[in-house]
Amino acid sequence: MVDFADLRNKNIAILWFGREGKSTLKFLMDQKIHFSNITILDAKDDLDNPDAIHAITWSKYLQDLDKYDIIFKSSGVPITTELVHVKEKIVTQVQLFFDNYPGKVIAVTASKGKSTIVSLIYALLKNAGYNVKLVGNIGVPILDEIDICPPFKTDGDPEFCPVRENDFVVIELSSYMLHDLRKKNFISILGTIFPEHLDRHGSFDNYVGAKLNILKGSEINIVNHETLQRFDLDKAYTNLIPYDQGSAYARMDGHFTLGDKMIFSVDDRKIPGDHNLENITAVVALADTLKIPMEILHTTVREFQWLPHRLQEVGEYGGIRWIDDAISTTPESTIEALKTYGDQIDTIFLGWTDRGYQFDELAKYIHQSKIRNIVIFPDSWERILESLQRSNVLSSTKEDPTLPHLIQTSSMQEAVQFAYEHTEKWKICLLSTASPSYSLWKDFEEKGDLFQKYIKEIT
């Protein structure tokens, strides 16, 4: 646990200088840490860092780690062999938050859907009149939003003043953040779990172990019923509230339910997709747990808008409906997009980073959807092509005009141009790649932004 009173006497490193790293630097400067005590470590050389802050980049950035007293690590940085021997010196924003924030925290994780759940919770609590903050993996660095320690006087001893608490802090936690996390909090929500980030965690068991860390240290755990049964969670935990089918918080006759009581229609919502019914059901369970009136929940769900890059309707351009689902970076999440739009989809963009996923089930859904145009990006395109051939979506032996028109490209601009030329009028071009974005783009947001940019430029 970091001793804030002693921070100014430490030799501090910030490992990776992206959004979270810049937030950490601001936090340290706010604590009156002298710039000479701070070093930025990053593999990139083109850092947007203040001139006064020393930076070590390229191949030398992980050398001489022993000389630092504290290493503030961004959550996305794995504990590599170079970091193992200094692991006790490593601090993350999320651990710093849980070690020092005394207020009520609602933590959420799932393989997919967690951003929708936390955003719905945030909207619900705001509508219910609470003072609430939304932070974490959704893209808002914790230290930018939450007061977790007292400020220092300009000269002299630290002045310990009360932390300004919110009624609630809602935090989205990724498996990276949850790995080795120690916490105490009010409510945790655990959604469905399926294979994801296996290149980072090494195995599905390791990934599941990281996800299940969210249940430790919580007063109340709201858990997807299927997840609870699949991993026998009731054998290890007693403070469980199940939600979704098979529980008190589910759906029946086209309505969300609370026990035997029907609350409101599942169709009274703006966010599309059957998978979002499960996400909303998690929030039903939370609302009931917090004794928030169902009328406020109903209004929240009815008014809740799409999040960027999550089945986002970009608009109609060139007589084509463009859907940005850049957040879908696994085969399972892309399958949910296909279920949402069915045979309305005429063109789909697939591929990017190869994490070893299996695409056979996705290929079957593509075949059922009768998609006529497929764009595939590296590096996962070989696995996708093999699955498409096994599912008879593509021929491995000859050109067949009845089979989908396919191109392989590394250019988003070329992909969008292809979609303009080949997508049937009034049908959908869907960006839902079933793979992460890191081989070509910084993240799914950059991928989605480029998709939208070229749609509007080529019109």
User: Which of the pair, 394 or 173, is modelled with greater confidence?
Assistant: 173
Q: What is the pLDDT of residues 54-106, one digit of tens each?
A: 999 988 999 999 999 999 999 888 888 999 999 999 999 999 999 989 899 99
Q: In what order do the strands lie in the sheet with 249-252?
A: 249-252, 255-258, 261-265
Q: What is the pLDDT of residues 265-278, one digit of tens each?
A: 999 999 988 889 99
Residues in a beta bridge with 313: 323
Q: How many angstroms separate the CA atoms of 123 and 155, rounded?
A: 42
Strands 405-408 and 373-377: parallel
Question: In the predicted model, is pLDDT for residue 262 greater than 90?
Answer: yes
Q: What is the pLDDT of residues 164-218, one digit of tens each?
A: 678 999 999 999 999 999 999 999 999 999 887 777 788 999 999 999 999 999 9
366-377 in b/e form (b: 16+ CB < 10 A) is beebebbbbbbb
Q: How many angstroms separate the CA atoms of 157 and 2, rounded?
A: 17
Question: In the predicted model, is pLDDT for residue 403 greater than 70?
Answer: no
* Domains within the chain, CATH numbers bracketed: 9-91 (3.40.50.720), 95-303 (3.40.1190.10), 312-458 (3.90.190.20)
Residue entry with tokens 């967690």: 114
Which segments of 320-408 does DSSP mark as H helices, in order? 331-341, 360-369, 381-390
Q: What is the pLDDT of residues 242-252, one digit of tens each?
A: 999 999 999 99
Output the pLDDT for position 163.
54
Output the pLDDT for position 397.
44
Output the pLDDT for position 124.
98
Q: What is the pLDDT of residues 37-51, one digit of tens each?
A: 999 999 888 888 888
Question: In the predicted model, is pLDDT for residue 306 greater than 80?
Answer: no
Q: Tokens standing for 224?
A: 């997807």
Question: In the predicted model, is pLDDT for residue 161 greater than 60?
Answer: no
User: Which of the pair, 328 or 282, is modelled with greater confidence?
Assistant: 282
Q: Which residues contact 81 (CB under 8 A, 6 or more apart)?
A: none
**3-state class of 50 per DSSP?**
coil
Output the pLDDT for position 352.
84
Residues in a beta bridge with 133: 169
Question: In the predicted model, is pLDDT for residue 436 greater than 90?
Answer: no
Mean pLDDT of the chain: 90
* Confidence (pTM): 0.81
Residue 407: CA count within 13 A, CB half-sphere: 18
Distances (CA, A) of 32 to 6, 9, 11, 150, 198: 12, 11, 14, 11, 40
Q: Which amino acid is at 361?
A: E
Q: Tokens standing for 99?
A: 């070690």
User: Which of the pair, 355 or 215, is modelled with greater confidence?
Assistant: 215
Output the pLDDT for position 5.
63
Output the pLDDT for position 4.
66
Q: How many angstroms separate the CA atoms of 7 and 29, rounded?
A: 11
Q: What is the pLDDT of residues 137-153, one digit of tens each?
A: 887 899 999 987 655 44
